[in-house]
Amino acid sequence: MFHSRESENEQCRPKIVITTVDDPDIIAVKKDLKMISVNSETTESFELPSGGANGSSYTWSSDNEQVISVSKTENGYAAAVTRADADTTVKLVCTAVSGGYSEQREFYVNVIGSATSVADLDAAEISVEYTDSMRTVSLPGS
């Protein structure tokens, strides 16, 4: 059971801060962040947008610039991929801003490693030639 009583002591009164959802900047940022799509796996460099359809502007960052380096271009952002030997997961962060409101969204991208073992290859991609004087094994990319 709840009781209510008025107090003359202002410190006893709770302060409530309400952020309305009718703020156009908040609405724009939230809608724009939901519409961003980034592939979860890649072997190649790719483009990232610089803004959303509702007017938000974006900035991008990477937690591993050695594998995915992000830079501003005329048309958005370029995500330059440098493949390591092993698969590497990189976190990209998009910060969307509209007016005085900003919010971030994280994307995780697995960069497929450049080292490929024979066990990973499709059998149809392996070519073996054998003659009495020469043995040759051809693998994709060799």
Which of 53-67, 71-85, 88-102, 112-126 is predicted least confidently?
112-126
Please give the pLDDT value at position 113.
93
Residue 89 has pLDDT above 90, yes or no: yes
Residue 83 has pLDDT above 90, yes or no: yes
Band (pLDDT 50/70/90 cuts) for residue 14 is: confident
DSSP track, 55-122: S-EEEEEES-TTTEEEEEETTEEEEEE---SS-EEEEEEEEEEETTEEEEEEEEEEEPPS---GGGS-
Task: State pTM to two decimals.
Answer: 0.68
Give the three-class secondary structure for 13. Answer: coil
